[in-house]
Amino acid sequence: MQSDQRWRHLLSLLSDMRLAVVAFSGGVDSSLLLRAAAETLGQNLIAVTAASETYPSGELEHAKSFARSLGIRHRIIESKELEQEAFTRNGPDRCYHCKRELFSRLRMLAESEGIAEVLDGANHDDNLDYRPGRRAALEFSVRSPLAEAGMTKEDIRTLAKSLGLAAWDKPSLACLSSRIPYGTQITPALLLKIQQAEDIVRGAGVRIVRVRHHGDIARIEIEPSSFYSFLRDEELRESIVRKIKALGYTYVCLDMGGYRSGSMNEQLSAEVKEREMASRGERI
């Protein structure tokens, strides 16, 4: 099976490293990477999770629990991207500034511990998308063993399930800033508002949800397979609308296109995407 071959390749890549710092968000990608690193490096490994207002609440506790289950060293750092004007002004390169903040902190930690390798959970599919954060990874010599092993998102979920990782079917994590259109200022209050709106929708039993912020409009993205159950209960629907409006939105809309990763990038021109990919030596 191809996934098994890639797993063996991943273990081989990691076993060649003496020490490593792993950026661990708690999502399925970084969980699989951490599981493999724990198997090959053991105590020669430090998992690092960045706590920030830009990430969904509750994820930190899941990350702590998983790291404890592996018996590895785990450190929590406070990410400061909201203090950077280059990040909060929310240009198309926003993710670059966020990852630059994270990777610079991880690189400093690694150097203070005498560790050469800093790793993240980017996979092969990430190389095919508009990901400005990958440029920051190159600048700080951050390696992506999952991508190096040729692992796709499908491979990762298949392997995570076979290894019994609870995160195998966990919805993809994404910075809350990804719900805000480029050019709209990012503030802690706005991030909290988006988090609260998504919690309201999840409370209706929807697993995968993004509430995209468009001024006074809350645009809800869920999987198309959830449309029927989401809409058939008029009382529930009215409750969701009422609660989200109470957060300050005037209109609450369901995106008929359904959930798709990085939908805010749809507004970017092909030229912008091509330029970013080219800066990493890649093509769309």
What domains does the chain contain, in order, with CATH numbers? Answer: 2-169 (3.40.50.620), 176-260 (3.30.70)
Q: pTM (2 decimals)?
A: 0.88
Which of 139, 166, 129, 191 has the alpha carbon at shortest distance from 27? 166
Residues 256 and 266: their CA atoms lie apart, in Å, by 15
Tens place of pLDDT for every residue, the chain, 284 residues? 587 899 999 999 999 999 999 999 999 999 999 999 999 999 999 999 999 999 877 788 899 999 999 999 999 999 999 999 999 999 999 999 999 999 999 999 999 999 999 999 999 988 777 788 999 999 999 999 999 999 999 999 999 999 999 999 888 878 899 999 999 999 999 999 999 999 999 999 898 999 999 999 999 999 999 999 888 899 999 999 999 999 999 999 999 999 988 777 877 655 454 555 555 454 44
Euclidean distance between CA atoms 202 and 149, whole angstroms: 34
Q: How do 217-222 and 209-214 pair as beta strands?
A: antiparallel
Token couple for 211? 């509430």
- 224, 225, 229, 234 alpha-carbon torsion, rounded to 10°: 10
